Amino acid sequence: MSVFLLKLTRFLALIFFAVLGSFTISSAAETADSTKAFNASEVILHHVMDDHVWHFWDGHYGTLYLPIIVYSQEKGLEIFSSRNFYDEHHSLVEYNGYKLEHNHIYLADSGKAVLDISITKNVAMLFINAALLLLVFLTVAGRYQKNSGKAPSGIQSFFEPIIVFVRDEIVKPNIGHHYEKYLPYLLTLFFFILFGNLLGLLPGAGNMTGNIAVTLTLAVFTFIITNVSGNKSYWGHIFWTPGVPLPLRIVILPVEIIGLFTKPFSLTIRLFVAITAGHIVILSLICLTFIFGSIYVGLASTLMVLFINLIELLVAGIQAYVFTLFTSLYIGMATAEHEHH
């Protein structure tokens, strides 16, 4: 166990110093103009928010220019590289009648917004996350078929306890005997969030699960599955609560209807805030080094960031667990049979 902890500590330290080195290079480039003071909030928001380019380190070879896909009634559908929006000094320029401002694309002449379905940094992270999920679990499924009736080994032995935990400790207790119908979705949900949270902690990675559009989409899936699966008892409790006098039903009905939408709203905000807040805290501590320009502050912030990174690894698992737990609970409430006397 001590050897494992030592290796884990070394791995985390390597990740941290890679993050710090990458951040230092990019921050130095952003503050190269001596007449401009270091703006911590600008740097933090730049790293947390989505973007049409993916910066790994300063320079042409450290930037991945992502595809721009836009549509407008005036110009139709157009696809080109985001590299066209930047000159040799990496300053923003207009291209082919389009301009990029604050990560939004407009028509240059009229200033009208266009339909932007570009492959942004977070979209690219979604593809990477999905590809990783397919690679890992197709491999695990293949091992199950190959080693049928045998003890699990390799990657199968690593993920099997997690899969069993999600099934036996999250899904079955909250949904009941008909849990098998929803288990594939809930396992996908759990590992999608877990992998996304962990990938977001890697150097140069995008803040995918800290994007409210991603968390909202996951919450909408849960909302649809929950309410489509709702039985007669579920809808009866919402629109005609049993055992309640008629005058009170007039008050309870709007509360129940509002409750239908507060559940996905809470799922959306909880995951978004938890992941984004963690990234902001880490980046804020790193920024202290550049604000004070002191080696002692830098050493202190290094230790604090390393500690926060350890906490963020824990938060990554907790948030995947909580989202899956509440989803299971909502589905269980919608499909449970009630007896009224």
In a domain, 81, yes or no: yes
C-alpha torsion sign, points 25, 26, 31, 32: positive
List, for residues 237-264, the tens digit of each pLDDT value: 888 877 778 788 888 888 889 989 999 9
List, for residues 275-294, the tens digit of each pLDDT value: 999 989 888 888 888 888 88
Amino acid 145: pLDDT:
84
Amino acid 222: pLDDT:
96
Do residues 249 and 327 share a domain? Answer: yes
Do residues 187 and 95 share a domain? Answer: no
Do residues 91 and 143 share a domain? Answer: no
Do residues 55 and 86 share a domain? Answer: yes
Do residues 36 and 156 share a domain? Answer: no
Which of 82, 116, 150 is the endpoint of a domain?
A: 116
Alpha helices, DSSP H, located in the chain: 2-30, 40-48, 121-146, 155-165, 172-175, 183-199, 212-229, 232-239, 246-292, 295-335
- Its domain, for residue 81, covers 2-116
Contact 238, 260 (CB under 8 A): yes
Do residues 229 and 96 share a domain? Answer: no
Closest CA to 111 of 102, 99, 103: 99
Distance CA 143, CA 153 (A): 8
Distance CA 291, CA 282 (A): 15
In a domain, 340, yes or no: no
In a domain, 233, yes or no: yes
Distance CA 310, CA 277 (A): 15
| More confident position, 7 or 272 | 272
In a domain, 306, yes or no: yes
In a domain, 341, yes or no: no
- In one-letter notation, the amino acid at residue 238 is I
Model-level pTM greater than 0.85? Answer: no
Do residues 61 and 134 share a domain? Answer: no
Give the CA-trace dihedral at 90, 95, 101, 105, to 10 degrees.
-140
Distance CA 43, CA 36 (A): 13
Which of 116, 135, 162 is the endpoint of a domain?
A: 116
| More confident position, 33 or 176 | 176
Closest CA to 114 of 105, 127, 101, 102: 105
In a domain, 318, yes or no: yes
Amino acid 59: pLDDT:
61
Do residues 107 and 136 share a domain? Answer: no
Return the percentage of the chain with pLDDT > 90, whole number: 43
List, for residues 78-136, the tens digit of each pLDDT value: 999 999 998 887 788 899 889 998 888 999 888 898 999 999 999 999 999 999 999 99
Which of 85, 116, 147 is the endpoint of a domain?
A: 116
Contact 201, 309 (CB under 8 A): yes
Distance CA 308, CA 209 (A): 18
Do residues 182 and 306 share a domain? Answer: yes
In a domain, 105, yes or no: yes
Measured in whole angstroms, the distance separating CA 149 from the mean position of its chain's CA atoms is 37
| Residue 170 CB coordination number (10 Å) | 23
Mean pLDDT of 174-193: 94
Amino acid 25: pLDDT:
43
* Res. 22: pLDDT tops 70: no
Do residues 93 and 139 share a domain? Answer: no
Report residue 339's pLDDT band, with 50, 70 and 90 as the boundaries: low
Do residues 313 and 331 share a domain? Answer: yes
Domain count, the chain: 2
In a domain, 58, yes or no: yes
Average pLDDT, the chain: 84
* 172 contacts: CB under 8 Å, gap ≥ 6: 179
- In one-letter notation, the amino acid at residue 169 is E
* Res. 28: pLDDT tops 90: no
Return the percentage of the chain with pLDDT > 70, whole number: 87
Report residue 197's pLDDT band, with 50, 70 and 90 as the boundaries: very high
Do residues 103 and 196 share a domain? Answer: no
